[in-house]
Amino acid sequence: MADAQITPEVAKGLALRLVEQQFQTQNTTLSSLVEKAINVYRDGQAEKSLQMLAGDVCPYTEQDVKGVLLENLSSQDRDQTTRQKKVPVVGTPEGDRYDKTQKVADATRVYLESDGQQIPSELINELTAYVKHMPQYRDILYDQNGQLTSKANELATQIAQNLLRQPQYRRIIHKLFTERLDPKKRLANINAYEALKREIQALETQIKKLPEEVTQEQINKAKEDLEQARQELVKVSGQRTQLEILKANALQDQRNLNRLLLLQSELEAQIDLQFMEKADEDLQAARELLLATTDPQSKNYIQEQINQIEKNPNYKKFLPSYNTYKSTQQQITEIQSRKQQIKDLSQSITQAESDFQQKKQEYEELLRRQASSQTSQERARLEAELQRKKLELHDLEAQLIAERIRYASDIIAIPAEAAKEFFNEALGEAAKHYKEEAKKAAEKEKADRKLLEEQAIEKLGRSLGRREKRKRGGETVPVPDKKEARRLLTLLFQPSGLQGFIDEVAKNKQTLMSYGLTEEEANSFLAKKSDPEFVKTVGQNLAKKVLCDYLLAGGRLSRDDIFGIANTDWGKSIIEDGLKLSEEQKKFLESQLGKGVLKTLDEIKGGKTTSEWLRSNWWKIAGIISLVILFGLIGSSVAQSIPGIFSRG
Amino acid sequence: MDEFAVRLKKLIDGLTKVILDSLIAEDIDQDEAAEISRFILERKKTITNDSELNNFLTELKDRYFIFSSFLDSFEKESQIQKEDAQKIEAIKSQLLKFSQ
């Protein structure tokens, strides 16, 4: 079999396949958990990746946890080598906070990493403290006086340990832990704070670089120095002439000096200089002694000594040359002294001139800087900005501290919050169940109540305005009772209308029970009698029945009754219903008998308007209404028999 | 590792990749990913043969939409492999008969 050839098409396919295998993560911000799961998957550990996502494996290392805690809880500078923030100072509130948080976080990490097999004491302690405050355990941990019982600690620890062994609890901890200790997590204000800090540093550097501001004191001092230099210059200026004279003779002096030096060396060769100088010194000393001595004998002795030296042949021989030598030497010294004088004078004059120029420049520079206020304006602006930024930084720092405290609390509270969530989830299920049960019960109760109400209304409808009549077979039937119906009708015409009527009918339980209602039905009716909607609907229906019963029992309506009916809502409704039914029945009869057969009622009006006609024919309309109502109320039952009566077959 | 275990591992690899891809694409959130991962890990422990594996795949497809296209291609691939294996077996037996 030939080997597969890598054609361009195959290469393209391979390249595409390779590209597809990569995760497209560049444009998405993933949580650290997902990033870690991806990395583990890339390392060929798909199952571990799943376990991380499922919350069975802790995704963060000890270093990750330490790093995120330092980032978010320490206000210290960064270590130059590791670039990680330094640990907060021990013994400070920040240090204590970090220490406690670090312990809880690491304990949680160990717990998660061991899949719940290792439960560090810090974790148990945190959870035990929370359990002691849980209302669910109040009954078993506290006595009647609200004090913890002697076994409360032991019990709370047991509860905490049991909780920590629950897989669901561990998953909740995993969720909270991965969210809150995400190595990428940063406090909301930290970036703004650090940026502001950098801005402040830059401003401070800028201010430092600004030239010093000139004060009046500096100017005064410079002026004094300049004056002093000027005086010094004036002083040396007087020596300038002397220098010029000296300089004018300098050339001659140099020539003389050369000559004298030559002569001096010639004389030195001619005489015994050592001897002559010794003799000269001795003579000088003797003469001085002679002058100082008063004793004649001593004077004589000294004089003798002097004479002895002067008579020395060598002395006599060398004396003229020696004298010349001495005079030459003196001239040489004089010339050299003048040369030194030139040098010294030149130097002091140059120095004075230079000092003066320098002091003058300094003074002028200070004056120039003072004249230009640019520097001080710039400094003022920068310092104001610096001050503003420092205040901002102060505010941000306060917010940052609050955030740090909150973050630390969030970490320390992980075991407690997980317990809370665990119980909420567990209780949530129970609550849901009970809620559904309660809903069903409420629905059933509502349906039962409705049924009771309907039964009560139905019974009232049957007995209101009626009396029992015994038939031949002993059976009793309700028949309209004119007197009772009239009493109720009178109630209906009262201003209290339907409400007054219902209040009377349902005065109390006994009244209702007297109409044949059971106690339960009576109670359900009484419960609704204040509901306006109920009063309107039920009252209207009962009123129709009462009116109908009254008319059926041979009752008659007076003029006032008719206007009373027409003025009440229930009365209008009765008329509308009756007319509607009457119209329907009329249409039915017309269809049965042919058009125009039932026009008698219309002709009765004799072409007058309804109001005029009503005023003059009230007694007629009473009869019509009676008919209409009767037709309306009993129409349906009558109508069923009409087709049979009028059938042509 | 036997052939079944290899197939199961391949399946888990594929499912994990689908979950991670879906997380990146924000088709699911982290809570959903946790739930799906837990479901897979729990069910994986109980799968010992092809029939259980097929049930698992069906259930997975019904429960989580993200796997539908991956599982379709996985099933197709498995089917092809199975058919290939059957064909090879048939050829082998024919060759055996022929040699006899």
Q: What gap in Å lies between CA A500 and CA A511, rounded to an integer? A: 15
User: What are the two backbone dihedrals, phi and then psi, of residue B27, each rounded to the nearest 5 degrees?
Assistant: -75, -30
Test A49 with B41 for CB contact under 8 angstroms.
no
CB-CB under 8 Å, B26 with A53: no
Contact A53 B33 (CB under 8 A): yes
Q: Are A336 and A257 in contact (CB under 8 A)?
A: yes
Best probe of the B interface among A24, A29, A34, A50, by most B CBs < 10 A, is A50
Taking contacts as CB-CB distances below 8 angstroms, the residues of chain A near B67 are none
CB A149 within 8 A of CB A394: no
In this complex, which of B13, B30, B33 lies closest to A46 when CB atoms are compared? B13
Q: Which positions in chain A have a beta carbon within 8 angstroms of at least one beta carbon in chain B?
A: 23-25, 28, 30-31, 33-34, 37-38, 41, 46-47, 49-51, 53-56, 171, 175
Residue A130 amino acid letter: Y
Q: Which of A28, A54, A171 sits opposite B24 (nearest CB)?
A: A28
Q: In the prediction, which pLDDT does A454 show? A: 81
Q: Which residues of A147-176 are buried (b: 16+ CB within 10 A; e: fewer)?
A: eeeeebeebbbebbeebbebeebbbbbbbb
pLDDT reading at B3 higher than 60: yes
What is the ipTM, given to two decimal places?
0.82
Chain A residues with beta carbon closer than 8 angstroms to that of B15: 50
Instruction: Please give the Cα distance from A126 to A106 (Å, whole number).
Output: 13
Chain B residues with CB-CB distance to A under 8 A?
9, 12-13, 15-17, 19-21, 23-24, 26, 30-31, 33-34, 36-38, 40-41
- Higher-confidence position of B75 and A620: B75
CB contact under 8 A, A54 and B23: no
pLDDT at res. A337: 94
Give chain B's count of helices (H) and strands (E). 4, 0
Regions of chain A where pLDDT drops below 50: 1-4, 10, 14, 16-22, 24-28, 595-598, 600-601, 603-611, 613-614, 619-620, 631-649
Q: Do A50 and B41 touch (CB under 8 A)?
A: yes
Do A50 and B24 make contact, defined as CB atoms within 8 angstroms? no
The C-alpha of B27 sits at a distance from chain A's nearest C-alpha, in angstroms, of 13
* Residue A206 exposed, middle or buried by CB count within 10 Å (0-12, 13-18, 19+): middle
Q: Which of A25, A47, A53 sits opposite B19 (nearest CB)?
A: A53
What pLDDT score does A210 carry? 81
For residues A549 and A477, is the Cβ–Cβ distance under 8 A?
no
Out of B9, B16, B24, closest to residue A49 by CB = B16
- Residue A29 is predicted with a pLDDT of 64
For residue B37, list chain A residues with Cβ-Cβ distance below 8 A: 50-51, 53-54
pLDDT at A456: 79
Number of Cβ pairs < 8 A linking chain A and chain B: 58
The reported pLDDT for the residue numbered A127 is 92
| φ, ψ at A479 (rounded to 5°) | -125, 150
Contacts of A37 in chain B (CB under 8 A): 20
pLDDT tens per residue across span A84-135: 899 999 999 999 999 999 999 999 999 998 888 889 999 999 999 999 888 8
Question: What pLDDT score was predicted for residue A557?
Answer: 76
Q: Chain A partners of B26 at a C-beta cutoff of 8 Å? A: 28
Contact B12 A46 (CB under 8 A): yes
Location of structure tokens 């008063």? A294
Q: Which residues sit opposite A466 in a β-bridge?
A: A480
Confidence (pLDDT) at A517: 83
Q: Which of A362, A385, A530, A542 is nearest to A456 (CA)?
A: A542
CB contact under 8 Å between A24 and B17, yes or no, is no
Q: How far apart are CA A518 and CA A527, in angstroms?
A: 14
- CA proximity to A74, closest of A517, A296, A407: A407
Q: How far apart are CA A379 and CA A385, in angstroms?
A: 10
C-beta atoms of B20 and A41 within 8 A: yes
> Chain B closest CA to A71's CA: distance in Å?
25
Find how far residue A482's CA is from the centre of its chain.
Answer: 81
Q: What average pLDDT does the segment B45-67 reach?
A: 88
| Average pLDDT of the segment spanning B49-66 | 87
Nearest to A41 among B16, B31, B38 (CB): B16
- A175 interaction partners in chain B (CB closer than 8 Å): 31, 34
Structure confidence by residue, pLDDT tens digits, A159-196: 999 999 998 898 899 989 988 999 888 898 888 998 99
Closest CA to A126 of A91, A163, A74: A163
Q: How far apart are CA A90 and CA A152, in angstroms?
A: 34
Per-residue model confidence (pLDDT) at position A600: 46
Inter-chain touch B23–A34, beta carbons under 8 Å: yes
CA A64 to chain centre: 25
Do residue B16 and residue A54 have CB atoms under 8 angstroms apart? no
- Token pair belonging to A344: 């010294």
Task: Tell me the C-alpha distance between A489 and A88, whole Å.
Answer: 92
B17/A46 touch (CB, cutoff 8 Å), yes or no? yes
Q: What is the pLDDT of residue A626?
A: 54
